Amino acid sequence: MDYKAMLTVFRTMIIFLVGILPAIAAAETKLQKVEGDTFILDLRYGTDDNFLKKNVYQSFGLEQCWVQPDLFAALQKLAPKLREQNLKLVFWDCYRPLAVQEAMWKLVPNARYVANPKSGSNHNRGVAIDVTLADAQGSYLVMPTAFDDFSAKAAPDFRCTTDDAEKCKNRDRLIELMKAVGLTPINSEWWHFQLPRAGKYPIVKTLDAPLP
């Protein structure tokens, strides 16, 4: 093989590798585990202390908070902001495998309370989290409602009475922190935050599935 032929083969190999390496990297990318001294896990669907009155995580071995890499990056930016204010972020819910969503739907087949697994939840995409705040000692700050409250008080713009002003102040503090790292709330749950354009992310059926 002469020099020109060898050079052509070499160039072809380089072009091939440049084309497939991003695909290989993407195939190896998976959901990332959230951990650190500024984060507290209190996964409510891994207990009976939720509106379903049943632990729907135990059967699927879900014991940690997993999120998409983009959401993981936002939470890493949030960590120093929490430290500056002597706060911790408490996770009530993170990624849910689609099988968990199906189990929840069987218990409560009502789209007002549970997302239909046919369309999926942003939790199934790994781009949504349900959270609250705690102080540096781990004591939860008071908020307008408990988790999974379906009353009007759960809305992020609900106005507290003078007696409950501290609750709305803490809620607004949480919202401000989350917005500062690019996460957005929804209009019915003060505890729910997600990546912008969350629907563009695909549903991740299982925890060990590579991301597209």
In a domain, 95, yes or no: yes
Look at residue 182 in the predicted model and tell me its pLDDT. Answer: 98
pLDDT per residue over 152-186, tens digit each?
Answer: 999 999 999 999 999 999 999 999 999 999 999 99
The answer to whether 49 and 78 have CB atoms below 8 angstroms apart is: no
Exposed/middle/buried for residue 51 (C-beta within 10 Å: 0-12, 13-18, 19+): middle
pLDDT tens column, 126-153: 999 999 999 999 999 999 999 999 999 9
Same domain, 7 and 101: no
- Measured CA to CA, the distance from residue 85 to residue 156 in angstroms comes to 21
Residues 85 and 21 in one domain: no
Does residue 130 lie in a domain region?
Answer: yes
Domain that holds residue 9: 1-30
Q: Given this model, what pLDDT does residue 94 score?
A: 98
With respect to residue 178, please indicate whether it lies within any of the assigned structural domains. yes
Inside any domain, residue 209: no
Q: How many domains does the chain have?
A: 2
Question: 13 in a domain, yes or no?
Answer: yes
User: In this structure, are 3 and 89 located in the same domain?
Assistant: no
Residue 212 lies in a domain: no
Is residue 164 one of the residues assigned to a domain?
yes
Are residues 72 and 14 part of one domain? no
Catalytic residues: 189
Residue 97 and residue 10 share a domain: no
Rg of the chain (C-alpha set) = 21
Same domain, 42 and 147: yes
Q: Per-residue confidence at 27, pLDDT binned at 50, 70, 90?
A: very low
5 with 92, same domain: the answer is no
- Is the pLDDT at 29 greater than 90? The verdict is no
